[in-house]
Structure 1
Amino acid sequence: MTTLFEARPAAVQSARSRHVGFHWPVLATIAIALSGCMPATTAPLAQADPADPAAPVKRVGYRSTIAPYSSLRPATPAPWRERNDSVTPQKQDR
């Protein structure tokens, strides 16, 4: 039984020494840690400070959402009987 406890760590150590590779989790952790040290923006990409009252801003324009609307309601409605008679099918005499 003790030989099993001694053989297993020896096999693991042997496999580790054969596989000396790149450790992606370690690299990712280092990259994330170093990205916190980077500035938020660089000078060419930075824009005017929004808290600065002297900062230039674009002019605000107003466009009405109902500007092209015009009422299509007639001033006085036509008599309904005449209007109904004008659109009903005519009787055909045989």
Structure 2
Amino acid sequence: MYSHLGARLAAVATRLGLRAPPTLLPRMAAAILASAPLAGCMADGRPVAVASDPANPAAGTAGVGYRPTITPYSSLRPATPLPWRERNDGVTPPASSTSDR
């Protein structure tokens, strides 16, 4: 990939009538790699909002509330199990007096 970039830079320099030094690309790469670790040490340029500054003891805070996620839950245990026949009879549709046969 870097050789392709070097070839393109050389072609552009040749079209412009310039002669690029043969060590231009390694020097540029070394400069970028040397400055990249320092980019993390730079200070953020954005101003700190005064109202939300954590160092300000007079700063207001948002209200804190608690709302459980399982509020409508009600426990169904302990429940005594019914015999299976009674539970089955409870959901069976009523028998019709006329048969379709």
Higher relative contact order (CA 8 A, sep 6+): 2
Same-fold call, TM cutoff 0.5:
no
What TM-score do the two structures reach when normalised by structure 2? Answer: 0.41
Q: Which structure has the larger Rg over C-alpha atoms?
A: 1
What TM-score do the two structures reach when normalised by structure 1? Answer: 0.44
